[in-house]
Structure 1
Amino acid sequence: MLARASTASALTFAVVGGGLLVPGASAEAEAATLATKALNIAASKRGAPYKYGAAGPSRFDCSGLTLYSFKRAGKTLPRTAQSQYNKTRHISASQRQRGDLVFFHRGRSVYHVGIYAGSNKMWHSPRRGTVVRLERIWTKSVWYGRVK
C-alpha cells in the first residue's frame, strides 16, 4: 500500500508540474509545454486587429502572432511564415498536436501560418480587416511543423 501511495504521489507531483524528471521524456514534455503555452498566449489575443508587419502586443499579422506567442512562451522563431516553416520539425497531419504550427502553401511557397488548437481548428490572424480568431482549417493544402 505504501508503494502505491508513493507512486501516486510522484505522479500527482509530475502532473501538477513539480518538475519530476523522466528519463527520455524531457525533450518531448518540454516541447509540449512550450506549445501549450504558445497556444494559450495566441488564444489570449482573440480580437486583436490584423496589421501587416505587426508582431504584437496589440496588433498582429499571421507570422507576427506565432512569433509573439512562442517568444512569450520562451522560444524565438524567425519572422516570416516561410522562415518559420523552414525552422520547424515537419510532421504529418496524423501526428499534429495542439500548439503545432499550421502552414498554408501554394506549391512549395508558404503564405500563411496559424497555431493548431485541436479539432481541425487553429488560432490565426487572417488578413486586413479581420482580428485574431479561432477558425476551422478550410483546406487540406496545409503542412504542419513542430517548434523544436
Structure 2
Amino acid sequence: MKKTIIAIVGALAVFTSGAGSVYADQPKLTASVNEVVGTPYKWGGTTTDGFDCSGFILHIFKQFDVKLPRTSKTQANTGEKVEKDDLRPGDLVFFNTDGKGISHAGIYVGDGNFAHSSSSKGVRISGLSDSYYKKRYVTARRVVSEQVYKSMMNSIH
C-alpha cells in the first residue's frame, strides 16, 4: 500500500508540474545541453539532426554568441589553458581517443562531468573520472569571458 501511494504521489507531481518547468531554475548552459542530449552522432554534424564532438560544442556556444574554430584540434588552441582542478562549467575539455593527439572534445558541466557527442551514443553526459576518459584526458581551455560565463550560469525562469 505504501509503495502504491508513493507511486501515485510521484505520478501526480510529474503530471501537474507542467512542461514549462522542465528547465526552470537550471543554468542556461545546462538547459541548452539538456535540450540536445540524445541527439545522434553524425561525423561533420553541426545541427540537431546529428553532431560530431566539435559540432556539438559549436551548437551550444553559438547560443551564447561565442565563435569557435570548427575542429577539436583547433578548439584546443583557443582561449586559455585551465588546470583540471580549476574547471568550471563552460570550459572545454579535450581527449586523445585515437592515439594521434586531440581527437575528442566536450563541455565541462560541473561535478566532474562533461557533455559531448559520443561516436557510439550521441550527445550525452559522461564523467571525467570514467576510466575511458580519465586515461585519455589531455587538456582544458577556458574560451568564454566572465560576462558570457555569467550569462551561461543565469537560471531560466
Deviation, structure 1 residue 83: 0.6
* In structure 2, distance between residues paired with 1:40 and 1:84: 23
Amino acid of the structure 1 residue aligned with 2:73: Q
Paired residue type of 2:104: H
Gap change, CA 1:37 and 1:79, over 3 Å in 2: farther
Structural mapping, 1:1-148, within 5 Å: 37-105=28-96, 109-127=101-119, 129-137=120-128, 138=130, 139=134, 141-148=137-144
Query: In the TM superposition, what is the alpha-carbon distance from 1:109 to its structure 2 partner?
Result: 2.0
Structure 2 counterpart of 1:110, one-letter code: I
Q: How many residues matched?
A: 112
CA distance in structure 1 between the aligned counterparts of 2:138 and 2:31, rounded to whole angstroms: 22
* Deviation at residue 44 of structure 1 after TM alignment: 1.5
Q: Which residue identity is paired with 1:80?
A: T
Q: Provide TM-score, normalisation by structure 1.
A: 0.68
Unaligned runs of 5+ in 2: 1-26, 145-157
Look up the equivalent residue of 1:89 and give its one-letter code.
Answer: E
Assess if the C-alpha contact under 8 Å between 1:101 and 1:146 holds in 2.
yes
RMSD across aligned positions (CA): 2.0
TM-score normalised by the chain length of structure 2? 0.64
The one-letter amino acid of 1:144's match is A
Structure 1 spans left out of the alignment, 5+ residues? 1-35
Supply the distance in 1 between the matched residues of 2:94 and 2:139 (Cα, whole angstroms). 5
Secondary structure at the aligned position of 2:95 is classed as strand
Distance 2:113 2:101 in 1: 22
**What is the percent sequence identity of the aligned residues?**
36
Corresponding residue number in structure 2 for 1:22 = none
Deviation (angstroms), 1:43: 2.5
Cα distance in 2 for partners of 1:146, 1:40 equals 20
Displacement after TM superposition at 1:122 (Å): 0.8
